[in-house]
Amino acid sequence: MAKKTNADLLTPVTLAVGQEDLLLDRAVQEVVAAARAADADTDVRDLSSDQLQPGTLAELTSPSLFAERKVVIVRNAQDLSADTIKELKGYFASPAEEITLVLLHAGGAKGKGLLDAARKAGAREVACPKMTKPADRLAFVRGEFRAQGRSATPEACQALVDAIGSDLRELASAVSQLAADVEGTIDEAVVGQYYTGRAEASSFTVADRAVEGRAAEALEALRWSLATGVAPVMITSALAQGVRAIGKLSSARGGRPADLARELGMPPWKIDRVRQQMRGWTPDGVAAALRAVAEADEGVKGGGDDPEYALEKAVVTIARAARSRGRA
């Protein structure tokens, strides 16, 4: 991908579209940095939607006595009044020189006319979608390491996502810390050293220990997770993913991790991990574990009186199922 230049960033209008706060802030910071690189005295005006009233835009974009560069940032542009949107549409047709307008818009139907008009006028657009899927956050972490010029193993990236969770700011901060403190390739062991307390509280740690048949460790991780505020529904989700991965791989045709990864929709490194975890499993064990997960899921969603007991029962059943091959 070609590196963006200051000229690319200083187009008359930039749209930052989405609801991911970190990405929206970065889109703004990128433009401001480019403007100040071009002119250290750049005037930056950061406005909320209710501060941009009809007439305000004309005032902000009127020629300056000193011909200074200016960046005008408008947040929550989807909430602008109809009169202000009309004024903006007129501005798009004849933007002021030396001024960069940055509109932050949540996307969606509200204020879509403004988006359409800006796009039609050739505005530069930055996608800032909310990252709700674990795979998106994993890709984000990989990108952060690349941006830092550092190498991290797939297992390290996954361990960081498991340990930190869904907060992109915390993930970005963790990557920066690791990149600054650690020399060479960053691996899973390093992530564990830095974030061991949080990693142990991860729902995926509970699931990993359970499907490996390590009941005592799984129960300890479960209690720690609940004590540190991990939602029970996140734990049942992780247990379900762990058991399903065992079932998928045990019924798949043999082959290289890369081939199985394509067939099962898992990354190759996870194929290797699940292969190690599935050694004690039988088809009956997988079925029993899935029933236990379903019962726990019902229990934590209001079908039982004690969600913690429902989870403990599921963890013990799964751990027993993981050792079913060795029993008569």
Strands 99-105 vs 13-18: parallel, antiparallel or unpaired: parallel
Strand partners, 71: 44, 100
Measure the CA–CA gap between 97 and 94, rounded to whole angstroms: 9
Tens digits of per-residue pLDDT, 247-278? 888 877 566 666 666 666 666 667 777 888 88
120's tokens: 């039609």
Question: 152, 6 in Cβ contact below 8 A?
Answer: no
Computed over every residue of the chain, the mean pLDDT equals 86
What pLDDT, on a 0 to 100 scale, did the predictor assign at position 327?
52
Question: 311, 236 in Cβ contact below 8 A?
Answer: yes
Which burial class, exposed, middle or buried, applies to 132 when counting CB atoms under 10 A from its CB (0-12, 13-18, 19+)? exposed
Confidence grade of residue 124 (pLDDT, cut at 50, 70, 90)? very high
What pLDDT, on a 0 to 100 scale, did the predictor assign at position 251?
76
Tens digits of per-residue pLDDT, 46-97? 998 889 998 899 888 887 656 678 999 999 999 999 999 999 999 999 998 8
